[in-house]
Chain A
């Protein structure tokens, strides 16, 4: 069964600190993996998209990694800011027709001052 597991479920860090969020998947055949950021009361917004051949991709202070062999991805946030407080959702796309997007349940990050 295609599944996406995210950890931790929630995380609290101090402003300025770094953190890493994890995403493990069992989706096959794999097409790509996306990380979305969802602010409270808003819709999710894409942070980064990674394909099978990509190991690392950065978007400002956000760096995503992908290990297609172990089926793991991580999202590293550097020098966190209060505005990073949000839910981060990992979405894996399978190579198939129709509903090919498998969602993780998200990690809720709280950055405190």
Chain B
């Protein structure tokens, strides 16, 4: 089992460009999450999906959109990237505890 898989692992964007971070889990979990992690800030919730077909905003949703494509996949989209979105992004699935992916490191110039 791969657990939670995120792609890409690294990405450099210019201000205003768009991109989608992909996440897939093979553990048949209902709940999935997107977090960002910045130095000194800890992990902050962007969006979450309690089940297929539902999504809800977290603590820092501005500038992001999500899609829960099916039970396995939960993608995060930046429509117009800004330097403030430079961060490490983690996807996680949940059943009793969080299972995290390895992270996607995004730099916006």
Contacts and interface: CB of A to CB of B under 8 A. Distances in A.
Interface of A: 34, 36, 41-46, 49, 89, 91, 98-99, 101, 103-106
Contacts of B48: 98-99
B74 interface: no
Interface of B: 4, 40-45, 48, 50, 56, 58-59, 90, 92, 96-98, 100-103
A85 B10 CA distance: 24
A11 to B, nearest CB: 16
A42 B42 contact: no
A43 B42 contact: no
Contacts of A46: 97-98
A101 B98 contact: yes
A48 to B, nearest CB: 10
B56 A106 contact: no
Contact of A42 (B50, B58, B98, B103): B103
B105 to A, nearest CB: 9
A91 B56 contact: no
Given A49-B96, A105-B40, A105-B41, A43 B56 contact: no
Nearest to B9: A41
A98 B42 contact: no
A41 B103 contact: yes
A99 B100 contact: no
B102 A105 contact: no
B101 A104 contact: no
A102 to B, nearest CB: 10
29 contacts: A34-B98, A36-B98, A42-B103, A43-B4, A43-B92, A43-B100, A43-B101, A44-B43, A44-B98, A44-B100, A45-B100, A46-B97, A46-B98, A49-B97, A89-B42, A89-B43, A98-B50, A98-B56, A99-B48, A99-B58, A99-B59, A101-B45, A103-B43, A103-B44, A104-B42, A105-B40, A105-B41, A105-B42, A106-B42
